[in-house]
C-alpha cells in the first residue's frame, strides 16, 4: 500500500488531468449492457416472435443482468465529476454539467416523443407505450426534473439522469467552498453516514437528497479518484470497502425486484461479482494500470455513450417490432444495435459538437454578468419615470465681463489722434 500523502492544504499539486480513455471504454460497456437488457434480457417487452430465452439462449443469460450496468455508470460518474471539478469555480462546474447533459437530452426528448406518438396503437400493430399524455408533462420533461413532480418520463431510461442531477447538485456544495482532499473526504464520509442513518426511514425529502439506493456507488467513484490523484491510503480503501458492504444490501433488493419483473430468477451472488468487477475496473484506472489504453476509438466510444443511452430504448423497440418477421432475430438485433450506434454518432456530431460551445458561451456571459453586477462593475440601468415631469433645464451661464484692452495697439492710438 502506497503511503503518498496529500499536501498540507489538501489541494494537491496543481496539474492538468489527461483524458483517461479506459473510462470511456467502461462507459460504452455500461451502455451496451443496458441496451442488451432492454432488447434481450426481459421477456415483458414481447419484442420477438418467440420468448427471448429461446431465441437468444446464451446471450439471454447475460442480458438479464444488463440492468446492473447502471451501477457502473454511477461509479464512473463519481470519478469523473470529482476529477472535472477540481480547481474550478462553481460557475465553471455548473456550466460544464449543463452543457454536457442538456443539448442532447432536449433533442432526445423531442425525437423519442415524436416517434412514439407517431407509432401509437393501431388495429394491426403491437401496443407502443405513450407515457406522456399532456403538453404540460412533455414540457416538464425538458427540465430533467419531471420525476420530482411525479410526471412520467418520455423514455423510462431517463430515471438515471434525475439521480445524476441530484448528485451534481449535492457535490456542487463542495465545489462552492472549494474542492480539496479533506473536504472531499469529509463529504464522502458524511454522505455515507447519512445513507446508513436515514436510508431506511423512507422520508421522501431525505431519500431525494441522500439517494440511499445508489449513493455508495457515487461515493466509491469519488474515493477512487482520490486514490488516483493522491495515492492509496488505508483510509480510502477502508471507506471503499464500507461503501460496497452497504451497497450489497440494496443490490439484493434490486436483484429480487428485477427477478420478479422479468419472471426469471437472478443470482445475487453473480450480480455481486459483476458489480465488484465494475469497481475493480475503475480501480485499475485509478491505480494507473490502464494508462497504456490510449486508442482513439475509446474516446469516440465515450462520446457515443450518452446519445446511445438516451435514444436506444423506445426507438429501438419500435424498430424491432416493425421489422420482426421480415428479418431473422439475430441479424435484426445486430442491425438495431448498429443503427442505434449510428444514430448516437449523428447526435454527437450534429447536436453535441456544434451546439454545446454556443450554449457554453451564452452561459459564460450570463455568469460573468452576475459577477460584474456583484462587484459593482455592472451598474443598474436608470430608466426615468415617464409620469413625472421632466427636470427643469439648467440655468444659463452668467455673462462674461470683458475688461478693456489693457494693451491697446499703439498704432491705433496714434491714428485716432
Give residue 44's pLDDT: 62
Report if residue 197 sits inside a domain.
yes
- Listed residue (285, 243, 227) closest to 1, CA to CA: 227
Distance CA 126, CA 387 (A): 66
Cα dihedral 235/238/239/242 (nearest 10): -160
> Do residues 311 and 351 make contact, with C-beta atoms less than 8 angstroms apart?
no
Residue 57, pLDDT score: 85
Q: Please check whether residue 344 lies inside any domain of the structure.
A: yes
Instruction: Give CA–CA dist 246/192, Å, rounded.
Output: 9
pLDDT at 4: 45
Please report the pLDDT score of residue 392 as a whole number. 63
Give the Å distances, CA to CA, from 164 to 98, 208, 214, 374: 12, 12, 10, 30
Q: How far apart are CA 284 and CA 75, in angstroms?
A: 13
Task: Determine, yes or no, domain membership for 388.
Answer: no
Q: Is 251 domain-assigned?
A: yes
In a domain, 264, yes or no: yes
For residue 151, give the DSSP letter. Answer: P
Residues of the domain holding 271: 21-371
Contact in structure between 37 and 70 (CB atoms under 8 Å) = no
Q: Report pLDDT for 395.
A: 66
Say if CB 307 and CB 348 are below 8 A apart.
yes
- Domain assignment of residue 231, yes or no: yes
Looking at residue 8, its pLDDT comes to 40
DSSP string, 272-316: HHHHHHHHHHHHHHHTTTTTT---HHHHHHHHHHHHHHHHHHHHH
Q: If residue 373 lies in a helix (H) or strand (E), which one and from where to where?
A: helix 353-375
Three-class secondary structure of residue 389 per DSSP: coil
Rounded CA separation 264/342 (Å): 32
- Considering its fold, how many domains does the chain have in total? 1
Residue 414 within a domain: no
- Residue 386 forms part of a structural domain: no
| Closest alpha carbon to 306 in 278, 350, 348 | 348
Residue 382 has which C-alpha cell?
436608470
Question: In a 10 Å sphere around its CB, with 0-12 CB exposed, 13-18 middle and 19+ buried, how is residue 313 labelled?
Answer: buried
DSSP structural state of residue 386: S
**For every one of its 417 residues, what pLDDT tens digit does the chain have, with 9 covering 90 and above?**
544 444 544 444 434 455 788 999 999 999 999 999 999 988 666 688 888 888 898 899 899 999 999 999 999 999 999 999 999 999 999 999 999 999 999 999 999 999 999 887 654 444 567 788 899 999 999 999 999 999 999 999 999 999 999 999 999 999 999 999 999 999 999 999 999 998 778 888 889 999 999 999 999 999 999 999 999 999 999 999 999 999 999 999 999 999 998 888 999 999 999 999 999 999 999 999 998 888 888 888 889 999 999 999 999 999 998 898 889 999 999 999 999 999 999 999 999 999 999 999 999 999 888 877 766 665 555 555 555 555 566 666 665 554 444 444 433 333 333
Predicted local distance difference test score (pLDDT) of residue 412: 33
Q: Look at residue 370 in the predicted model and tell me its pLDDT.
A: 86
Per-residue model confidence (pLDDT) at position 168: 96
Amino acid at each position: 500500500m502506497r503511503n503518498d500523502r496529500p499536501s498540507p492544504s489538501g489541494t494537491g499539486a496543481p496539474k492538468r488531468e489527461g483524458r483517461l480513455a479506459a473510462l470511456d471504454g467502461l462507459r460504452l460497456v455500461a451502455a451496451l449492457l443496458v441496451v442488451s437488457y432492454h432488447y434481450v434480457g426481459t421477456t415483458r417487452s414481447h419484442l420477438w416472435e418467440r420468448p427471448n430465452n429461446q431465441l437468444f439462449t446464451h446471450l439471454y443469460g447475460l442480458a438479464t443482468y444488463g440492468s446492473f450496468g447502471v451501477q457502473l455508470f454511477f461509479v464512473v460518474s463519481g470519478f469523473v465529476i470529482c476529477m472535472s471539478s477540481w480547481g474550478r469555480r462553481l460557475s465553471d462546474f455548473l456550466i460544464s454539467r449543463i452543457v454536457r447533459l442538456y443539448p442532447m437530452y432536449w433533442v432526445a426528448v423531442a425525437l423519442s416523443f415524436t416517434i412514439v406518438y407517431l407509432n401509437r396503437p393501431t388495429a394491426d400493430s403491437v401496443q407502443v407505450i405513450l407515457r406522456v399524455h399532456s403538453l404540460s408533462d412533455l414540457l416538464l420533461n425538458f427540465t430533467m426534473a419531471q420525476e420530482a413532480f411525479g410526471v412520467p418520463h418520455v423514455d423510462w431510461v431517463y430515471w438515471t439522469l434525475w439521480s445524476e442531477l441530484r448528485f451534481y447538485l449535492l457535490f456542487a456544495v463542495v465545489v462552492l467552498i472549494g474542492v480539496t482532499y479533506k473536504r472531499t473526504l469529509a463529504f464522502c464520509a458524511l454522505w455515507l453516514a447519512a445513507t446508513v442513518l436515514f436510508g431506511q426511514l423512507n422520508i421522501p425529502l431525505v431519500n431525494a437528497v441522500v439517494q440511499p439506493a445508489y449513493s455508495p456507488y457515487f461515493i466509491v467513484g469519488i474515493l477512487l479518484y482520490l486514490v488516483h490523484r493522491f495515492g492509496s491510503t488505508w483510509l480510502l480503501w477502508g471507506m471503499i470497502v464500507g461503501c460496497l458492504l452497504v451497497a450489497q444490501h440494496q443490490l439484493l433488493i434490486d436483484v429480487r425486484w428485477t427477478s420478479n419483473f422479468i419472471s426469471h430468477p437472478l443470482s445475487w451472488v453473480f450480480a455481486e461479482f459483476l458489480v465488484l468487477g465494475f469497481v475493480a475496473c475503475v480501480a485499475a484506472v485509478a491505480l494507473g494500470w490502464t494508462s497504456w489504453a490510449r486508442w482513439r476509438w475509446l474516446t469516440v466510444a465515450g462520446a457515443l455513450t450518452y446519445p446511445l443511452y438516451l435514444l436506444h430504448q423506445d426507438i429501438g423497440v419500435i424498430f424491432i417490432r416493425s421489422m420482426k418477421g421480415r428479418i431473422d432475430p439475430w441479424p435484426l438485433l445486430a442491425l438495431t444495435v448498429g443503427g442505434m450506434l449510428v444514430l448516437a454518432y449523428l447526435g454527437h456530431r450534429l447536436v453535441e459538437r456544434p451546439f454545446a460551445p454556443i450554449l457554453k458561451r451564452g452561459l459564460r456571459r450570463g455568469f460573468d454578468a452576475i459577477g460584474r453586477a456583484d462587484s459593482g462593475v455592472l451598474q443598474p440601468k436608470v430608466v426615468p419615470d415617464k409620469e413625472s415631469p421632466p427636470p427643469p433645464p439648467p440655468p444659463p451661464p452668467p455673462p462674461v465681463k470683458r475688461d478693456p484692452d489693457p494693451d491697446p495697439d499703439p498704432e491705433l492710438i496714434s491714428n485716432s489722434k
